Structures are given as C-alpha cells and as structure tokens.
Amino acid sequence: MSVTWYNAEKRFSSSGITPEATAYFKKDCVGRWLEYLALAGGSLLKPWLLNILACPICKEHPLSVHIIQAESNVLKESTSLAKELVIHFKKGVLSEPSLKPIHNLSSNKDVDKWLAAARTAFAGLAKQKPTPATMQPLVDFFHRLEVLEGVLRCEKCGRFYPIGSRIVGVPELLPDTQRDKEADLAFLKKHKDVLPEKLLSGSKPFTLKSKE
Ligand SMILES: [Zn+2]
C-alpha cells in the first residue's frame, strides 16, 4: 500500500489541478486529495478527480476521458461523501464541464446510467439548494465507480495520459520528459480496437501509426 501511495503522490504532484481546487485545498492540496481518495477506498481513479484535473502541460480543464474498463462498488456509507460534495459545490471545486467529455468504451452499463443521473443532478443544482439528498446521484458517479483502465486526453494540446497502464487505476499525468514512450505506445496498441482513431494517431507526445 505504501508503495502505491508514494507513486500516486509522486505522479499527482507533477500534474495539473484547477485553480478552484488549488484555492480550496490550499498548500496541502495533494495531502487532502489523497485523503479523499482514501475516503473513497484507495488510490484508483474515481471520477471525482475529473473535477479538479487539468493538463499538466497547458493547464486546460476539463480533460476528456475514455473509459476502457470500470468497476462499480457498493459504498458502506455515502452520507459523509454527499455532505462533502455539498461543500465542494459551494466552494466551486465541482466542475460541471468535466461531466461532458466522458466516453464509456467499457461494457459496464453503470457508467452510462450514473453519468446520466449525475448530469441531470448537476443541471438541477442551478435551481435548487444543494443538499446531501440532491447530491446522491453525484456520489454514485463520482465515488462508486473506479476507472481501472482508460485514457485522459487534453483536447487543447492533444496530449494523452494513460490510466492503469502500469498500476491498475492510477492515472499517469506526467510531463513529456518523464514519460516512457515504449510503455505508452504499448498501452495504445493494446487498446487500439476500442480507442478512437483521432486519439491513436493524432495525440501527443507519441502517436500510433495506423499500420502498427
Ligand atoms: Zn494540454
């Protein structure tokens, strides 16, 4: 566990985080972030993180996500998470735009179901006061899902970032100089049948030639 936590912290510390999240979490951002991950059950990518992730290179937010494999979990207790979401909403940490560029390429139907419910719930927040009850559909999408494998992409600069390439569920938001070209291309190749052509052959810093 400690190795995973260390790796996660090392990776996350070099990644981009939205100004809203930085202001809310202040200096201890990474620590609080990991605390929330722990609350949610581990260091895997929970869709909640999409609220605060930005491209580490050009700082664009939101990042698009292609979900290749996802797991649904049962939460023992969800009220505390719903209460946290009310606070996150009031502090501007939650990002409605981050719910848009999400593409489910997996066979897990909960992704579509919970995403649709989360979008509806978020749209409703403009008209009604957020309460733990109104946040419940967001808890399902943000905290019950775990993205085991997938790809994050910055649609501004075109960079892609694997999720679960080396450690299942861990996003690799690394600067170009710290990336492993061979591993990143092998990851794209492994999933070339499900990922869109634009992502495979039109991304930075590496692309997969269509004949490979
Ligand atoms: Zn970018």
Distance 181 CA to ligand 1 centre (A): 18
Is residue 193 a part of any domain in this protein?
Answer: yes
Distance 161 CA to ligand 1 centre (A): 10
Rounded-to-integer distance, Cα 5 and Cα 170, Å: 10
- Looking at residue 98, what is its pLDDT? 95
- Phi first, then psi, for residue 163 (nearest 5°) are -115, 125
Host domain of residue 195:
2-76+90-105+145-201
The per-residue pLDDT for range 147-185, each reduced to its tens digit, is: 999 999 999 999 999 998 988 888 888 888 888 999 999
Is residue 30 a part of any domain in this protein?
Answer: yes
- Looking at residue 133, what is its pLDDT? 94
Distance 63 CA to ligand 1 centre (A): 8
Is residue 28 a part of any domain in this protein?
Answer: yes
Is the pLDDT reported for residue 37 higher than 70? no
3 state SS of 39: helix
- Looking at residue 26, what is its pLDDT? 60
Is residue 15 a part of any domain in this protein?
Answer: yes
- Looking at residue 32, what is its pLDDT? 53
Is residue 206 a part of any domain in this protein?
Answer: no
Rounded-to-integer distance, Cα 175 and Cα 75, Å: 34
- Looking at residue 56, what is its pLDDT? 83
More confident: 170 or 194: 194
Strand order, beta sheet including 145-153: 102-104, 64-72, 145-153, 160-163
Is residue 97 a part of any domain in this protein?
Answer: yes
Candidates 5, 16, 41, 10; CA nearest to 146 is: 41
Is the pLDDT reported for residue 116 higher than 90? yes
Distance 179 CA to ligand 1 centre (A): 15
For 122-171, list the strands marked E by DSSP.
145-153, 160-163
Distance 97 CA to ligand 1 centre (A): 16
Number of domains in the chain: 1
Is the pLDDT reported for residue 42 higher than 70? no
Distance 204 CA to ligand 1 centre (A): 9
Angle (CA) 2 174 68, round 5°: 80
Is residue 137 a part of any domain in this protein?
Answer: no
pLDDT tier for residue 6 given thresholds of 50, 70 and 90: very low
Task: Quote the pTM value.
Answer: 0.83
Is residue 81 a part of any domain in this protein?
Answer: no
Distance 173 CA to ligand 1 centre (A): 11
Is the pLDDT reported for residue 122 higher than 50? yes
pLDDT tier for residue 25 given thresholds of 50, 70 and 90: low
